[in-house]
Amino acid sequence: MPTKKRGVKYCSECETENGVRAYECKNCDHPFKMKKGRRGPRRKKVEDFRTLKRGDIIRVMGGSGDFYVGRDGEKQYFTDRGKYSVWGVDNQGIKAYGPHGFTYLYMGKRCPSKIVDGVTKCPHKIYLIINSHRE
């Protein structure tokens, strides 16, 4: 095992260097023993949104999705961050219930809006919180 450094812990399985607050190894996903355990649900970044099913719970990160650029250059995002329940998926995005009712989360390529000037369609950053269809 390598020499100990401040702010670092090593995985007992693969000896990869990890941050001291890591819950599992970044290389092999081996869980570390923690005094207080995980403080909230494990989040896994959704690589392909088409794998989501009705009932899955996702978290939308702030500062992602469609936005408007004002005259002062500041971005105004249209989607609120928070938990959303997946209702359905199509080839361009996710239909979901969120903090303010039913919404559509665009997941396609970044492009300017064809309808409104100053608006850019951009994919949302989402993390899976609860998988309703465990394999």
Instruction: Determine the Cα–Cα distance for residues 24 and 44; give it in Å rounded to an integer.
Output: 12
DSSP summary character for residue 60: E
pTM, full prediction = 0.69
What digits encode the pLDDT tens for the residues 21-46?
A: 888 888 888 888 887 766 665 677 88
What 3-state class would DSSP assign to 98?
Answer: strand
- Going from N- to C-terminal start, the domains of the chain cover 1-39, 44-130
- Using the predicted structure, report yes or no on whether residue 101 has a pLDDT greater than 90: yes
Q: What are the residues whose beta carbons fall under 8 Å from the beta carbon of 21, sequence distance 6 or more?
A: none
Q: Is 107 exposed, middle or buried (0-12, 13-18, 19+ CB in 10 A)?
A: buried
